[in-house]
Amino acid sequence: MSNTLLIALAIVILSGCSEPSKTTNIAATDITETRSKALIEKDNSENSGVNIEETQAMVLLSGLPTLGTTDSIAIIELDPESDNFGDILYDYPLPKLDAPMHHLYYSPTGRLYATGLGSQCSLAEIELVRNAKAEPIINNFECLNTNGQNVGEDIMWHNVNGELTMFVTFMGGSDLSQVDTGTIGVFNAQNNQVIKIIEARESQVEPGQPYIKFPHGISAYKDRMVVTSSTHPTIPTEVGNTITIIDLNTLEPIETIVIEDAKPVGFPSSPVEVLFVRPSIVENVKPAILVNTLFGFETWKVPYNEQTKTFSAPEKLYDGATSGTAVPLEFYGNNDELFISHGVPGIVKRYDLKQLPNLVSSGEDIKAESGAHHMIFYKTASGRKLIAIQNNLLNLGDAKDDDPTDIDFLVKLNHHSVTVHDLETGERLGEINFKEKYKKGIDNIEALFGSGFTHHH
C-alpha cells in the first residue's frame, strides 16, 4: 500500500489543490445500529444521566522509531471543557508488527476488533473490559487466523441466512505477489473462524466476468454486498477503478462496475469507501450505492432497483477536481446528517441524511487539518454536541527515514492530530497533536464501549 499511495499522493499534492473559500459502524444491519444505541443508553443510565465516558475515545497510535516510541491502543479525554483534554488516560502497548493496525470496529454484540495493514496481524480482537474499579482496560490483544489473508481494511457484520456473519476486506488477498490480489474473508461472528474466502482474480476469470481486486470499502443491503477496488498494497502500478457486487445467497461475485471519469492525477480512480444507502439509514429511500474515489476526487451514486435486483449506470454527484478538494475518504453519519472527509485540504463536508442518496448540503464545511479521515460524534458533560476528526492518512515508513511518517509529501496528509469542533457551527474548540505531545502518529479514532457514529458502512 505504501508505494502506491506515496507515488499517487505525490502527484496529488504537487498538483496543488486549492482550499475552498454516538452510535455505530454502518455495518449493513439494523442490529449493529440498535446495539450501539443500547450501549450508550445503558452507560447514560448507569451514570445518573451523565455518561462521563462519552467524551473518552479509543485511538490506535503508531510509534515513531526515530522518536523512540512504540505502537499502542490508548484511551484519551476529548472534552475540550475538561482540564484533562488531550490526556492519555490509559495506554496498552501493542506487539511489534510489520505494519500499523488501522481500523477499530465494534461488532453488534459489543466485541472490539481491529484490522491491520501488514501480514503479521491483519485482523485482531481486542478484549476491552473493566477492572475491579470499573475502569476500562484492555485485557488481551489477539491476532486472529485469517487463513493467509493479508492487509485487512474494513469490517462489516450482516445477517446471512439468519446468521450474523462478519465480513472483512483484505487488500493483499492470499498472495501479495499477485498483481490482481484481494479477498473477502467470511468469518463466523461467534468464534472468529473463517467460513469462506471469496476470491475472484481478474486473471483467473473469463473476460467480462466479475472479479475482486484490492477490496477496501464494503457495505450491504439485504442479499447484495458491494466492495471497492482500491490499490495494491505493494505494487505501485496497480490501482483499481471498479466496485464489485456479491450475491450473499451464494457468496459469489455477480457484477463488476467501473467507477471512473476523468483522471485528475493520471491514475485510475481507486474507489475507496462505499455506502449502500438503504431504508435502515433513511426511511423509504430508494436504495443506491455511494462511492468515494481516492484518486478521482469524486463521489458517485449507483442506483439500485430492489425489485429487479439490478444496478443502473453510475452517476457522478461531486467532483473534487473542480471544487478544490482531493482524496475523499470516509462516510460517517449521525441521525440527521452524512459526513464525508476530504484529506485535501482537510475538510469534512456535511449533507442532509433525509435527501440521500443525493448529496444536498446541510451546512458549511468543517475545517479540520490535512489528512482529515475518521471521526466520531459525542456530547460534552454540559451537553454540547461535538465532532472529533482524526487528521492523518497513513503512518508508514521505517527508522531509516528522518521521520517514518514524514516521507516527503506524505507529511502533507499526516497532521498527526485530532481536532474537536462544535457539531452545529463547525467551530474548532480544541486540537490534540499526537506527534508533538506524545511522539506518536494516530491511525484511527473510535468511541469507548460502543461506536461513535450511527452510520459508516
Lowest-confidence region among 160-174, 278-292, 443-457: 443-457
The span from the CA of 213 to the CA of 177, in Å, is 13
- For the cut 80, the answer to whether the pLDDT of residue 431 exceeds it is yes
pLDDT band for position 454 (50/70/90)? confident
Domains and CATH numbers, the chain: 2-447 (2.130.10.10)
Question: 414 or 133: which carries more pLDDT confidence?
Answer: 133
Q: What is the mean pLDDT of the chain?
A: 88
Q: Are 97 and 116 in contact (CB under 8 A)?
A: yes
pLDDT greater than 70 at residue 18: no
Environment class of 401 (CB within 10 Å of its CB; exposed 0-12, middle 13-18, buried 19+): middle
pLDDT of residue 27: 36
Q: Residue 211 to residues 160, 182, 195, 405: CA-CA distances in angstroms?
A: 21, 10, 20, 33
Write out pLDDT tens, residues 269-291.
999 999 999 999 999 999 999 99
Q: Rounded mean pLDDT of 115-127?
A: 97
Helix, strand, coil tally for the chain in percent (to 5) = 10, 45, 45
The residue whose grid cell reads 454486498 is 225
Q: Which of 7-16, 61-70, 87-96, 281-290 has the lowest mean pLDDT?
A: 7-16
